[in-house]
Structure 1
Amino acid sequence: MKLESSKIQVAKSANYMFEALTDVKNFEKLMPDSIAKFEVIDENSFVFALKGMPEIKLIQKEQVAPTKVVLGAASDKLPFTLIGDINPIDDTNSEIQLHFEGNFNPMMAMMVKGPIGNFIQALAGNMNKL
């Protein structure tokens, strides 16, 4: 299953956004209002939970400065990646788009498509908070 957010333009450089997205503490600022838990585990991982959903641990998997940050689920029970693509527009502006790629059975995909789509859209929409 693949989902993507809309492209969000931010008044920050691509380098700034890359640095902000590679600091896992900053993901708390991006979380939607329905966040029930957010806890930094170490410099490369954090745990979060939305109201009514199980906890999910994300780990930084890949970084390509200043254009890409990849986070992945720590558990094989829910295998997915969250990719942040950063496109520099000029020295002070950039465009961010989030991509979600998950390997789910068709029933699970049908159940989580809406909530995950809303979640990544909320994350992208909050990029200006960084």
Structure 2
Amino acid sequence: MNLESNKISVKKSQKELFEFLTKLENYEQLMPENIQKFEVDGESFIFGLKGMPEIRLVLKEKVEFDKVILGAASSKLPFTLTANIIESSEDTADAQMLFEGDFNPMMAMMIKSPLQKFIDTLSQNISKL
């Protein structure tokens, strides 16, 4: 299952946005309002939204200034969440969130809508930085 947010413009340079997204504690600012738990632990963080199970994301890969890839810590629900960062000018960048997961069709059908809403919220909150 592949989902993507709209591309959004951010009033930060590509480098500034990349550095912001590689600091895991900053993701708390991007979370939806209904967040109930957020804890950073080394190269990972765990978050919980009201009515959903807690999820641990691990910093999997950084491609300097272009991409930050987070992945699920659990192999039960394998997925990645990628932030693509594109320079649009010296002091602005475009960002897009991509979600890729390997789920059975029933699970995909149940989680597609909440996941799309989640990555759209992350994107919208990035645009407010």
TM-score, with structure 2 as normaliser: 0.98
Q: Please state how far the C-alpha of 1:110 moved relative to its aligned partner.
A: 0.1
Residue 26 of structure 2: aligned partner: 26
Residue 61 of structure 2: aligned partner: 62
Residue 97 of structure 1: aligned partner: 96
Q: State the number of aligned residues.
A: 129
* Whole-Å separation in 1 of the counterparts to 2:32 and 2:6: 16
* Whole-Å separation in 1 of the counterparts to 2:48 and 2:77: 14
Amino acid at match of 1:124: S
* Whole-Å separation in 2 of the counterparts to 1:6 and 1:92: 20
Residue 82 of structure 2: aligned partner: 83
SS in 1 for 2:29: helix
What are the ranges of 5 or more consecutive residues in structure 1 without an aligned counterpart? Answer: none
* Whole-Å separation in 2 of the counterparts to 1:117 and 1:129: 19
Q: Please state how far the C-alpha of 1:36 moved relative to its aligned partner.
A: 1.3
Q: Please state how far the C-alpha of 1:80 moved relative to its aligned partner.
A: 0.3
What are the ranges of 5 or more consecutive residues in structure 2 without an aligned counterpart? Answer: none
Q: Please state how far the C-alpha of 1:25 moved relative to its aligned partner.
A: 0.3
Q: Is 2:10–2:128's contact at 8 Å kept on the other side of the alignment?
A: no
Q: Is 2:72–2:78's contact at 8 Å kept on the other side of the alignment?
A: yes
Q: Please state how far the C-alpha of 1:128 moved relative to its aligned partner.
A: 3.4
Amino acid at match of 1:60: L
* Whole-Å separation in 1 of the counterparts to 2:85 and 2:97: 9
TM-score, with structure 1 as normaliser: 0.97
Residue 123 of structure 1: aligned partner: 122
SS in 1 for 2:57: strand
SS in 1 for 2:52: coil
* Whole-Å separation in 2 of the counterparts to 1:34 and 1:77: 24
Shift >2 Å, 4+ stretches: none
| Structure 1 vs Structure 2 CA RMSD | 0.8
